[in-house]
Structure 1
C-alpha cells in the first residue's frame, strides 16, 4: 500500500470511493455524489492550506483522507476538520490508521494544533478508529441532519496535534 498526496488525476477515483457512502449510507450528509470535477476542486482546496492523501494498492486508489477548515473565523485557524473514506472491504485492515497517521503528520508540520472529526451515529467503525487514534468525544449534535427518511445524530470528537505550550505561528503554513 502506498500513501501519497492526491492530485487532480485522483479525483475520479476518490469520487468512486465516496459515491457509495453518499448514495447508500448516512455516514455523509451529502445527497448527491460529487462529480470528478467537484472532487478535483475539493482536492485542490485541501492541498492549498491543509492536505489530501490517497492510498493506492498498485495503481488503484482504495481510500483517502483529508483535512479542511473547521470554521472560517480567524481564532479557529489552527484547527482542522478531518475525514476519511475507504473502499468497501478495506475497514479494519490498518489502512485507516495509516492514512490518518500520514495526514496528521502533514497537518502538524503546517502548524495546526487541533483536529476535529464528526461522525453520523451509529458508526462503530469510525468511532473505533477515532478513539484508537486518540480522539476524545466532545459532544453529540442531536437530530442535526435528515437523511434516508430519518433524523440523524452526529458525534464530535477532537485530538491535539503539535504543541499547545507555545504561541502558534501567525498562520498555518
Structure 2
C-alpha cells in the first residue's frame, strides 16, 4: 500500500486503547534497542501510563479504519517548573506500517497540538547505535532531522540492551517564540 492509499485518522488516546497500543509497543521492547525497556509492561501498567500522560499532555492515536497503527505522546522534559515549555516526544508505529507517512502525520498533529497549548520546545531522546545492527539503526535520527529537529547532544555507551552498549542522542525542534514574559503552557 502506498502513502496515497493510506487513510489515517488522528484522535486523542484513551486509557481503553492500552491493549491495542501495547501490541504496537511490545515488539519494540522485545526485538529492538529503540526503547531501553527490558520487559513489556502489562496492559494495566500501560493503561495507567496513558491515563497519567493525559492529565497534562497530548497522547494521540493514528487509526487506519478502526485499528490503531501508531501513537505519539509527550511527557515532561524535566520536572522543574522552569522547563514547563519543553516536552520529550515519543512516536511508535506498527513495524509493518513504517515508511508509509504515519509517523509524520502523528508528529504533525502532535506539534500542532503542542503549539496551540503554548509549548515551545520538542525534544527527542533517541537510542543511537555506535554501529548499526539488527536491533538499532539511525532511522529515528534521520526521521527527526527530516521533521526539522537538530542534534544537540550525544551520550556515549549509556544504554545496555541485548549484550551491547548504545549511545543516546538528544534532538530538539523549536516550535514557538520564546519571550521574556512567556505565557504558561496550557496543560
Cα distance per residue 1:105-132 (max 9 Å; x no partner)? 1111121110100111133321121011
Return the TM-score normalized by structure 2.
Answer: 0.88
Are 2:94 and 1:87 equivalent residues in the alignment? yes
What is the alpha-carbon root mean square deviation over aligned residues? 1.3
Q: How does 1:102-141 map to 2 (within 5 A)?
A: 102-122=109-129, 123-141=137-155
Match of 1:3 among 4, 10, 13: 10
Q: 1:166 to 1:101 in 2, by over 3 A?
A: farther
Q: Show the counterpart of 1:30.
A: 37
Deviations 1:56-89 (A, max 9, x none): 1111111000011111111111100001000012
Residue in 2 aligned with 1:172?
186
Structure (1 or 2) with the larger CA radius of gyration: 2
| Structure 2: segments with no counterpart, 5+ residues | 1-7, 130-136
Whether the aligned pair in 2 keeps the contact of 1:111 and 1:168 (CA below 8 Å) is no
Structure 1 runs not aligned, ≥5 long: none
Per the normalisation by structure 1, the TM-score is 0.95
1:153 maps to 2:160:
no
> How far apart are 1:171 and its partner, in Å?
4.6
How many residue pairs get matched?
Answer: 173
